Amino acid sequence: MNEDKTPIIIGSDHAAYQMKEKIKAYIIKIGVDIEDVGAYSEDSVDYPDFGIKVASSVSKGKFKRGILLCGTGIGMSMVANKFPHVRAALCNDLFSAGMSRRHNNSNILVIGGRVIGETLAMEILKTWLETPFDGGRHQLRIEKFDNL
């Protein structure tokens, strides 16, 4: 297991609130500090507000990594990837979660709360947290778009 204990920032909209709470509980359980920027209930909210909070914090270096959740994960991905140095990866399967870390050094995990179930979401989270970046030729590729 990769023992990265750096703090994580997390945000979701109303559609993924329950899944966010379960993910947050797991992260606390493994001893990683987490900052929750909302949503704080299932009341309807605008997902960009939370995507902006998480992505801007990662972009500015306040947090090394973040997690975003919404109904499909698509909207949060679009918002997050507008920010410099953010590599948000929508992962709804284990292979994508692992490869987003190994080859793309993703720093924000995005999950669609209405697309996958809780058990798979937790396995995706664990894979994403435990998979290291391979570096090497992949770093050169990331540099091509990370500094646009």
Flag whether 29 is in a domain: yes
**Stretches in the chain below the pLDDT threshold 70:** 1-2
Flag whether 1 is in a domain: no
Flag whether 83 is in a domain: yes
Flag whether 112 is in a domain: yes
Flag whether 114 is in a domain: yes
CATH (domain of 72): 3.40.1400.10
pLDDT digits (tens, 9 = 90+) for 64-85: 999 999 999 999 999 999 999 9
pTM, whole model, 2 decimals? 0.96
The domain in which residue 53 lies consists of: 8-146
**Is the CB of residue 93 less than 8 Å from the CB of residue 87?**
no
Residues annotated as catalytic are 70, 103
Number of domains in the chain: 1
- CA dist., res. 80 & res. 17, Å (int): 18
Report helix, strand and coil shares of the chain as percent, to nearest 5.
45, 15, 40
Q: Six-digit token pair at 74?
A: 């698509």
Flag whether 3 is in a domain: no
